[in-house]
A and B are shown apart, each in its own frame.
Chain A
Amino acid sequence: MKGIAAKKLLTHLVIIALVFINLVPLLIVLSSSLRSPKNMTNPLNWFNEFTLESFQSAFTRMHFMSALWNSIVLTSVSVFFVVVLAAMAAYPMARIRSKFSRFLYIFFLSGLVVPGQMVLIPIIQMIKGLGIPMNQYTPILMFITCSLPFSTFLYTGFIRSSVPEEIEEAAHIDGCSMFRRFWQIVFPLILPVTVSVVITQGVWIWNDYFFNMVFITKASDAPLPVAMLGFLGDQQNPAQWNVLFAACILCALPLLLAFLALQKYFVGGLTMGSVKG
Chain B
Amino acid sequence: MNSAVMKKTMYFFVLPAMLFYCVFWIFPILKLFQYSVTDYNGYVQSFNYVGLSNFKTLFQEEILGVSVKNTLIYTFITVIFGNIIALMLALLLNANIRAKGFYRSAFYIPTLFSAIVVGFIWSYVYMPGDGLIASFLTKIGLGDVDTNFLGSYGKALYAIIAVDIWKNIGTSTIIFLAGLQSVPYELQEAGRIDGAGRWKLFRFVTLPMLATSVTINITLSIINGLKAFDYPFVMTNGGPGTSTNTLIYAMYKMAFTDQLFGKASALGIISFALIIAITAICVFTLNRKEVSA
Known: A172-B5, A248-B117. A19 touches B106 (CB 8 A): yes
Interface size on B, residues (CB 8 A): 90
Binding site for B on A (CB under 8 A): 8, 11-12, 14-15, 18-19, 22-26, 28-29, 42-44, 84-86, 88-89, 91-93, 95-97, 100, 104, 108, 110-115, 117-123, 125-127, 130, 141-142, 144-146, 148, 152, 165, 168-169, 172, 178, 182, 203, 206-210, 224-225, 228-229, 232, 241, 244, 248, 251-252, 255-256, 259, 263, 266-267, 270-271, 273-277
Judging by beta carbons under 8 Å apart, are A88 and B14 in contact? yes
Question: Taking the nearest CB of chain B, how far is it from the CB of A26, in angstroms?
Answer: 7
Question: Taking the nearest CB of chain A, how far is it from the CB of B6, in angstroms?
Answer: 5
B87 contacts A by Cβ under 8 Å? no
Judging by beta carbons under 8 Å apart, are A275 and B261 in contact? no
Question: Taking the nearest CB of chain A, how far is it from the CB of B201, in angstroms?
Answer: 17
- A/B interface sample: 16 pairs, CB < 8 A: A22-B106, A22-B110, A26-B110, A88-B13, A89-B14, A95-B1, A97-B1, A110-B276, A115-B229, A117-B252, A130-B23, A225-B115, A256-B109, A271-B174, A274-B179, A275-B182
Judging by beta carbons under 8 Å apart, are A274 and B212 in contact? yes
Judging by beta carbons under 8 Å apart, are B255 and A121 in contact? yes
Judging by beta carbons under 8 Å apart, are A96 and B8 in contact? yes
Q: Which residues of B contact A152 (CB under 8 A)?
A: 17
Q: How far is the CA of A232 from the CA of B105 in the complex (A)?
A: 29
Question: Taking the nearest CB of chain B, how far is it from the CB of A212, in angstroms?
Answer: 10
Q: Which residues of B contact A168 (CB under 8 A)?
A: 5-6
Judging by beta carbons under 8 Å apart, are A232 and B120 in contact? yes
Q: How far is the CA of A140 from the CA of B94 in the complex (A)?
A: 39
The residues in B between 1 and 18 inclusive whose CB is less than 8 angstroms from any CB of A are: 1-2, 4-11, 13-14, 16-18
Question: Taking the nearest CB of chain B, how far is it from the CB of A32, in angstroms?
Answer: 9
Q: Which residues of B contact A86 (CB under 8 A)?
A: 17
Question: Taking the nearest CB of chain B, how far is it from the CB of A235, in angstroms?
Answer: 15
Q: Which residues of B contact A267 (CB under 8 A)?
A: 104, 174, 178
Question: Taking the nearest CB of chain A, how far is it from the CB of B204, in angstroms?
Answer: 20
Q: How far is the CA of A95 from the CA of B6 in the complex (A)?
A: 7
Known: A248-B121, A252-B112, A270-B174. A119 touches B135 (CB 8 A): no
Kindly supply a per-residue 1/0 record for chain B positions 13-37, scoring 1 wherever the CB is within 8 Å of any chain A CB and 0 otherwise: 1101110110111111101100100
Judging by beta carbons under 8 Å apart, are A121 and B132 in contact? no
Q: How far is the CA of A178 from the CA of B42 in the complex (A)?
A: 46
Known: A25-B121, A113-B275, A142-B24. A11 touches B29 (CB 8 A): no
Question: Taking the nearest CB of chain B, how far is it from the CB of A84, in angstroms?
Answer: 8
| A interface: dominant SS | helix
Q: Which residues of A contact B268 (CB under 8 A)?
A: 118-119
B141 contacts A by Cβ under 8 Å? no
The 8 Å CB contact of B23, one of A126, A228, A229, is A126
Residue of A nearest to B139 (CB): A44
Q: Which residues of A contact B276 (CB under 8 A)?
A: 110, 113
Judging by beta carbons under 8 Å apart, are B28 and A126 in contact? yes
Judging by beta carbons under 8 Å apart, are A126 and B27 in contact? yes
Judging by beta carbons under 8 Å apart, are B216 and A126 in contact? no
Binding site for A on B (CB under 8 A): 1-2, 4-11, 13-14, 16-18, 20-21, 23-29, 31-32, 35, 42, 89, 92-93, 95-97, 99, 101, 103-117, 120-122, 124-125, 130, 132, 135-136, 139, 166, 169, 171, 174-175, 177-179, 182, 212-213, 216-217, 223, 226-227, 229, 248-249, 251-252, 255, 261, 268, 271-272, 275-276, 279
Identify the interface centre among A100, A118, A122, A142: most chain B CB within 10 Å of its CB: A118
Known: A91-B13, A117-B248, A277-B212. A209 touches B114 (CB 8 A): yes
Q: How far is the CA of A95 from the CA of B178 in the complex (A)?
A: 28
Q: Which residues of B contact A22 (CB under 8 A)?
A: 106-107, 110, 166, 169
Judging by beta carbons under 8 Å apart, are B18 and A89 in contact? yes
Judging by beta carbons under 8 Å apart, are B105 and A263 in contact? yes
Residue of A nearest to B13 (CB): A88
Q: Which residues of B contact A273 (CB under 8 A)?
A: 216
Q: Which residues of B contact A224 (CB under 8 A)?
A: 114
Q: How far is the CA of A248 from the CA of B182 in the complex (A)?
A: 37
Known: A19-B106, A117-B248, A270-B175. 18 other contacts (CB 8 A): A8-B97, A12-B99, A29-B121, A43-B135, A44-B139, A84-B16, A88-B13, A92-B11, A95-B6, A114-B272, A125-B31, A145-B20, A145-B24, A165-B6, A203-B111, A248-B117, A252-B113, A275-B212
Q: Which residues of A contact B25 (CB under 8 A)?
A: 111, 114, 119, 145-146, 148
Q: How far is the CA of A23 from the CA of B113 in the complex (A)?
A: 12
Residue of B nearest to A206 (CB): B114
Q: Which residues of A contact B28 (CB under 8 A)?
A: 119, 122-123, 125-126
Q: Which residues of A contact B248 (CB under 8 A)?
A: 115, 117-118
Q: How far is the CA of A68 from the CA of B101 in the complex (A)?
A: 29
Identify the interface centre among A84, A225, A271: most chain B CB within 10 Å of its CB: A271
Q: Which residues of A contact B99 (CB under 8 A)?
A: 12
The 8 Å CB contact of A96, one of B6, B27, B121, is B6
Judging by beta carbons under 8 Å apart, are B2 and A207 in contact? no
Judging by beta carbons under 8 Å apart, are B11 and A96 in contact? yes
Judging by beta carbons under 8 Å apart, are A113 and B112 in contact? no
Known: A85-B17, A88-B16. A228 touches B117 (CB 8 A): yes
